[in-house]
């Protein structure tokens, strides 16, 4: 059964709003920009006589994380299908990401979904609907230099609905964080470092030296003269 993009987008929007409204703590917006590469295999191609077997893709993603558990962004993707006439497509998507679990160390799990349009394509969607949907589960690894790496499993689907191409694969994204949230985090780290108490030097016990009295001189005996 081919995916219904409208239902997928509606479900994703509901999950996103539930996550975003579920937290009310103060949070400075954090921006991110990343580039990624995807390798996937085609798992669905109903009604296609000569379907492609795989797809190689690249993407550029800009996101704004405006609360602790959610981010919104825009992505531009290019897909090049392997065999099946080597179709290709480009897409521009509205992307939403939620972080369902608290971060552990420098890593965070995330769920991401998006829906958009395909401005151009060859052999992917001859119907003219030009809709692209995507969903992924991944893990974000942050570094001390505000750089990050995303490792994720991703599903992509392309209209038309009655003969949608669907792929499943792995994606790697590399990017950087910037913006007010990053500055606030840096300031908090510096404040924590300066607030640490200076180590107190350990006192070295002073050994008391006791002078020993010299030994008493031995009494000398004078030999007595012999009586004649």
Q: Is residue 69 part of a domain?
A: yes
Q: Name which residue leads in pLDDT, 193 or 103.
A: 103
* % of the chain exceeding 70 in pLDDT: 68
In a domain, 137, yes or no: yes
> Could you tell me if residue 39 is inside a domain?
yes
The token pair that represents 29 in the structure block: 């917006």
Q: Quick one: which of 115, 138, 167 has its CA closest to 11?
A: 115
Helix (H, G, I), strand (E, B) or coil at 189: helix
Indicate whether 19 belongs to any domain: yes
pLDDT score at 9: 59
> pLDDT-derived band of residue 40, with 50, 70 and 90 as boundaries?
very high
Give the domain range for residue 186: 5-192
Structure tokens at 118: 């395909």
**pTM (predicted TM-score):** 0.73
Cβ–Cβ contacts within 10 Å for residue 79, how many? 25
Confirm whether 128 is domain-assigned: yes
Look at residue 114 and tell me if it is in a domain.
yes
Tell me: pLDDT of 55 over 50. yes
Identify whether 219 is part of a domain.
no
Residue 228: its pLDDT value, please?
Answer: 44
pLDDT digits (tens, 9 = 90+) for 137-181: 999 999 988 999 999 999 999 988 788 889 999 999 999 999 887
Query: Using CA atoms, how far apart are residues 140 and 99, in angstroms rounded to an integer?
Result: 10
Report the CATH number at residue 167.
2.40.160.20
Q: Between residues 136 and 3, which one has the greater pLDDT?
A: 136
pLDDT at 6 over 60: no
Nearest Cα to 112, choosing from 78, 147, 76, 152?
Answer: 152
The structural domain count of the chain equals 1
pLDDT band at 3 (very low <50, low <70, confident <90, very high): low
pLDDT band at 182 (very low <50, low <70, confident <90, very high): confident
More confident call, 25 vs 56: 56
Burial class (CB in 10 A: 0-12, 13-18, 19+), 12: buried
Q: How far apart are CA 4 and CA 14, in angstroms?
A: 16
pLDDT of 102 reads 86
């Amino acid at each position: 059964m081919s995916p219904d993009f409208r239902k997928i987008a509606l479900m994703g929007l509901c999950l996103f709003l539930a996550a975003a409204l579920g937290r009310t703590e103060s949070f400075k917006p954090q921006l991110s920009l990343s580039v990624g590469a995807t390798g996937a295999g085609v798992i669905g191609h109903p009604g296609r006589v000569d379907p492609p077997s795989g797809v190689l893709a690249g993407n550029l993603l800009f996101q704004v994380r405006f609360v602790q558990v959610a981010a919104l962004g825009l992505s531009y993707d290019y897909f090049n299908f392997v065999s099946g006439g080597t179709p290709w497509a480009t897409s521009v998507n509205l992307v939403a990401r939620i972080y369902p679990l608290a971060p552990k160390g420098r890593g965070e799990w995330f769920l991401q979904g998006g829906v958009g349009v395909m401005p151009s394509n060859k052999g992917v969607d001859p119907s003219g609907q030009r809709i692209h949907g995507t969903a992924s589960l991944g893990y974000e690894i942050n570094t001390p230099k505000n750089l990050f790496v995303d490792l994720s499993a991703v599903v992509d689907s392309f209209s038309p609905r009655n003969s949608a191409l669907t792929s499943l694969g792995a994606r790697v994204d590399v990017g950087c964080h910037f913006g007010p949230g990053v500055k606030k985090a840096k300031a908090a780290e510096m404040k924590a470092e300066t607030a640490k108490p200076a180590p107190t030097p350990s006192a070295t016990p002073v050994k008391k030296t006791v002078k020993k009295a010299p030994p008493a001189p031995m009494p000398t005996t004078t030999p007595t003269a012999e009586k004649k």
